[in-house]
Structure 1
Amino acid sequence: MSSLRPENSQNPAEVSFHPDSEEPSATHHLIYFITGNPGLISYYNTFFQTLHELLTSSPTSSSDIFHIHGQSLAGFEDAASEPCRTTPYSLEDQISLSLSTLQSLYIPSGPKKSQPYTSIILIGHSVGSYILLELINRLRKSSSPLTIRAGILLFPTVTHIAQSPSGVKISTLFKIPDFPRRASFLARNLVSLVPRNWLKWLVGVVTKMPNDAAEVTTRFLRSRMGIWQALHMARDEMEQITEDKWDEDIWGAEHEDIDHKYRVPKLIFYFGENDHWVADHTRDALIDARGRGDEETKSSKPIMLIDENGVDHGFCIRHSESIAEKVKVWIEGIMLE
């Protein structure tokens, strides 16, 4: 029998669900989540809570224990650990920091305390999906002992983000010298003129966000460096997320070689139907080049799906429950392989 042991409940920059289990034979699996931009983990609270409840009620939950960990990307929170930071973090910084955190996580309690997880399932949203692929790539090249079993990429921006509808617009703004810093300075000055409660109300009215998402957005807008961090990182995304940069050790092959010493993690891509951060033609080109065909039953290539339910790119605002249900089904399928 496992029960939730809440952790970091007072830390908005981190979310951890660690079910306690005293079963020596239980296997512990880590679900490691990487956010999109803006990288505040609190946007995903409903998603995490729903996914945790679904997994703990699963028929396999007695033998497979699923731990969930996610944290805000660096620079988005007014954290005490970053009091002297005066410049934003790059996309490369975020990859390195995410990798460092992943390598530091061990089973926190029970008979297997301090041991590594049996397997790890990575989940990335938006640019978090790009970071996810880079984590797999770097762990492979370093011959890491970590076992990455699968990656789930939600509304992924992994190639040619500047060609997307929103990418085209923001790339034009980045032609203005020092745009991220200048725009954030102006925005922060304007936000400082508005009382916090009024700002939250205004965010809710303008964006039509539910109350919890409006609260997170208000905290982001009033943070010391959040806006600058988001724009600085977005510029990096436009410049770096271009051509497909990974090989078959990431993408897999049409016919899986069971004797190959490196097992390619299973990848599941879930694209939006009309995603303003992913151009349809670049999405379709990636699916044609890298996706698994219906006939490729023994293929190690990714499963690539397109949403048909009208879910927005920022699924965590209004569609957390439905996406958590899909992720739960995918995880159960992964565990059966």
Structure 2
Amino acid sequence: MPPNWDTASSSQISLCPKSNDGSASYHLVYMITGNPGLIGYYDTFLKTLHNRLSDSLHFPPKSNIFHVYGQSLAGFEDDTCSGPIPESPYSLEYQIQRSQKTLEGLRIESGPRKGEQFNSIFLIGHSVGSYILLEIIQRLKKSSSPLKIKSGILLFPTVTHIAQSPSGVKISTLFRIPDFPKRASIAAKGLVWLAPEGVLKWLVGLVARMPPEAAEVTTRFLKSRMGIWQALQLAKEEMDNITEDRWDEDIWGIEQEVAEVKDERPKLIFYFGDNDHWVANHTRDALIAARGQAGPGNESSKPIMLIDENGVDHGFASGIARALPRRSRSG
């Protein structure tokens, strides 16, 4: 069936089939963005994902209904600010709590099962969204939440030692300047507001080599009340907080595990970039060695960890990737 878009605001994407079947299983795919946290960057990706799920032989549309949902992180677009513009950007902790609260509030939107919980939930996190994803899973487990998280898919995940990455090393130097996020955002805003929106969009597309849709999202971000400050302040928190592996076996699983316990754990799938400028190769390889599956085996509940072989960039969501990756190599 053709999708039904609910575009009440630019800061949300909601995609589900128009038809409903009370006997079908309802699944939620919940997208958590990276930084900058604008869901509009993921428009093409989420449409492609929804189409492939709807056509999949493993998930026949008649017996499985998918709702794909994502929202911008707070502070990046004007309609994500609660009330008046806040005095300071939203913290990483606030982003985690807000993403979790939204997830817990989502229900089947229409049809005979309207208002019920989904049969299963698939979380997707990109970059810092992967860190938020792991935090949400951990907090839901500790609270004995009834939500049924089936899987977590972590794309270009920045979950440990982001400051050691090539870009992390560079930006960490800037953050040594007192109050750098605010000062830099004020300077940038001054330049941005001098340019008419049409000219700015053209410049963004030209300089960043973005397609028109991504350039429009970026222009909206640059013109927002506090988007630049929010992005820089969140990046600073990422450098400060995303360091050592902070999760235990409740999240990571173990190599040999009984089927009953294994089935209760969300299956984690990591998709790393090759020479990702936000993920140092040595920290990636150390995480794969410590937490990834040792090899093929049905008894392991540890994550599947893959490294891209398609040349897909960390910032694929800005319009670079127009389809899901076809190949990867195991880590």
* In 1, Cα distance between equivalents of 2:319 and 2:129: 19
Structure 2 residue 21 is the aligned partner of structure 1 residue 20: no
SS in 2 for 1:269: strand
Kept in 2: contact 1:76–1:226 (CA 8 A): yes
* Structure 2 counterpart of 1:250, one-letter code: I
Kept in 2: contact 1:159–1:243 (CA 8 A): yes
Query: 1:38 is matched with which residue?
Result: 36
User: What do you get for the CA RMSD once the two structures are aligned?
Assistant: 1.7
Query: 2:238 is matched with which residue?
Result: 237
Alignment of 1:252-291 (within 5 A): 252-260=253-261, 263-291=264-292
* Structure 1 counterpart of 2:4, one-letter code: R
* Structure 1 counterpart of 2:148, one-letter code: T
Alignment of 1:1-337 (within 5 A): 2-8=1-7, 10-59=8-57, 60-79=60-79, 82-84=82-84, 85-260=86-261, 263-323=264-324
Offset of 1:90 from its aligned partner?
0.5
SS in 2 for 1:310: coil
SS in 1 for 2:261: coil
Which blocks of at least 5 consecutive residues in structure 1 are unaligned?
Answer: 328-337
* In 2, Cα distance between equivalents of 1:16 and 1:295: 36
Q: Cα–Cα, structure 1 residues 201 and 194, in superposed 2: closer, same or farther, change >3 Å?
A: same
Query: 1:333 is matched with which residue?
Result: none
Offset of 1:325 from its aligned partner?
6.7
For normalisation by structure 1, the TM-score amounts to 0.93
SS in 2 for 1:323: coil
Kept in 1: contact 2:310–2:325 (CA 8 A): no
* Structure 2 counterpart of 1:62, one-letter code: K
* In 2, Cα distance between equivalents of 1:123 and 1:325: 18
SS in 1 for 2:31: strand
Which blocks of at least 5 consecutive residues in structure 2 are unaligned?
Answer: none
Offset of 1:295 from its aligned partner?
3.9
* Structure 2 counterpart of 1:232, one-letter code: Q
* In 2, Cα distance between equivalents of 1:236 and 1:16: 29
Offset of 1:281 from its aligned partner?
0.1
Kept in 1: contact 2:271–2:306 (CA 8 A): yes
* In 1, Cα distance between equivalents of 2:281 and 2:80: 41
SS in 2 for 1:322: coil
Could you list the structure 1 runs, at least 4 aligned residues long, displaced by more than 6 angstroms after superposition.
324-327
Offset of 1:324 from its aligned partner?
6.8
* In 1, Cα distance between equivalents of 2:80 and 2:103: 21
* In 1, Cα distance between equivalents of 2:40 and 2:212: 12
* Structure 1 counterpart of 2:166, one-letter code: P
* In 1, Cα distance between equivalents of 2:260 and 2:195: 63
* In 2, Cα distance between equivalents of 1:14 and 1:285: 36
* In 1, Cα distance between equivalents of 2:24 and 2:92: 37
Percent identity over the alignment? 62
* Structure 2 counterpart of 1:245, one-letter code: R
Query: 1:331 is matched with which residue?
Result: none
Kept in 1: contact 2:48–2:323 (CA 8 A): no
* Structure 2 counterpart of 1:263, one-letter code: E
* Structure 2 counterpart of 1:6, one-letter code: W
For normalisation by structure 2, the TM-score amounts to 0.94
SS in 2 for 1:47: helix
Offset of 1:3 from its aligned partner?
4.6
Q: Cα–Cα, structure 1 residues 80 and 145, in superposed 2: closer, same or farther, change >3 Å?
A: closer
Q: Cα–Cα, structure 1 residues 87 and 257, in superposed 2: closer, same or farther, change >3 Å?
A: same
* In 1, Cα distance between equivalents of 2:194 and 2:132: 36
Residue by residue over 1:15-68, the C-alpha shift from the partner in whole angstroms, topping out at 9 and shown as x without a partner, is 001213432210000000000000000001111111111111223221111110
Q: Which is further off, 212-221 or 128-137?
A: 212-221
* Structure 2 counterpart of 1:223, one-letter code: S
